[in-house]
Amino acid sequence: MDIMTKMEGHARSTALKLWREKLPATVFDKKDPATPSVVRFDLKLSAATPSDCPRQVICDHAIVHETSPTYAENVLKFLEEDKVGIPSHSPAFQKIVQSKKRRYASVIAVVKRLAEERRLDYQPEFLFPLISSLGIMNDDMQTLMTFILKRFADTQKGKPKRPDGVEAKVIKGRFKVELRNSICFALLRGNALAMNNQGCSGVVHPL
């Protein structure tokens, strides 16, 4: 980062090349999901505002199977000990969130530094939206849904009346329902795929 910000042209390219040669070979532990061979995010969504540096939401999602043998006992213990406990704060959710934070910590740190130095033409926001096999969403998933709904509403502003007479608020309501239905379908498909991979009888491979 210091080379990128303090040097220019050929000198910067040469310094970066020499710096890379000093780095040790990267070794990944295949048993640790926090050290993948390729670091990538699932989705990036762009807002329209502000026009000079729009907000961008960068996501990496997961489905939490809190009823699986791996998590069920700890989740039940969590809910029994804290009667007003929020399900999305259970050990199953927290384990996956912490794993993702470790996995992307370096990338996020670099992007945030670039944003602080105004070297990006967008405002990055990182989210880890999670939804459980029972349909429970964490705060990041709720934030993502709100972002999508607002983005759709922004695209409808200033548009002329529809020839069929359907009002804008009705269209927005339909979009919200279809968004929820799409997430529910994706959840069902993900559960069917997981069960099929576990060899559960009576579960066909989802198309």
- For residue range 60-115, list pLDDT tens digits in order: 988 888 877 788 888 888 888 876 678 888 888 988 999 999 989 988 998 998 88
Q: Determine the Cα–Cα distance for residues 5 and 85; give it in Å rounded to an integer.
A: 46
State the pLDDT confidence band at 24, using cuts at 50, 70 and 90: low
Q: Is the confidence at residue 143, as pLDDT, over 90?
A: yes
Q: Which residues contact 88 (CB under 8 A, 6 or more apart)?
A: 130, 132, 136, 137, 138, 139
Q: Which residues of 176-191 are buried (b: 16+ CB within 10 A; e: fewer)?
A: eeeeeeebeeebeebb
Domain assignment present for residue 178? The answer is yes
Domain assignment present for residue 4? The answer is no
Q: Determine the Cα–Cα distance for residues 206 and 155; give it in Å rounded to an integer.
A: 34
Pair of tokens at residue 35: 């050290």
pLDDT at 8: 82
Which contacts of 108-114 are long-range, i.e. CB under 8 A and separated by 24 or more positions? 110/1, 113/1
pLDDT at 9: 81
User: Who has greater pLDDT, 163 or 189?
Assistant: 163
pLDDT at 156: 85
Percent of the chain having pLDDT more than 90?
A: 18
Q: Is the confidence at residue 34, as pLDDT, over 50?
A: no
The stretch 45-71 carries a mean pLDDT of 86
User: In this structure, which amino acid lies at residue 126?
Assistant: F
Q: Determine the Cα–Cα distance for residues 148 and 42; give it in Å rounded to an integer.
A: 15
The dihedrals phi and psi of 152, each to the nearest 5 degrees, come to -65, -45
Domain assignment present for residue 21? The answer is no
For tokens 């020839």, what's the residue? 163
Q: Which domain holds residue 62?
A: 38-197
pLDDT at 164: 87
Q: Is 196 exposed, middle or buried (0-12, 13-18, 19+ CB in 10 A)?
A: middle
Query: Are the CB atoms for 42 and 36 separated by under 8 Å?
Result: no
Domain assignment present for residue 20? The answer is no
Domain assignment present for residue 124? The answer is yes
pLDDT at 6: 81
Q: Is the confidence at residue 37, as pLDDT, over 60?
A: no
Which tens digit of pLDDT belongs to each residue from 180-193? Answer: 888 888 888 777 77
Domain assignment present for residue 151? The answer is yes
∠ CA 46-50-56, rounded to 5°: 25
- The count of domains in the chain is 1
Domain assignment present for residue 101? The answer is yes
Domain assignment present for residue 30? The answer is no
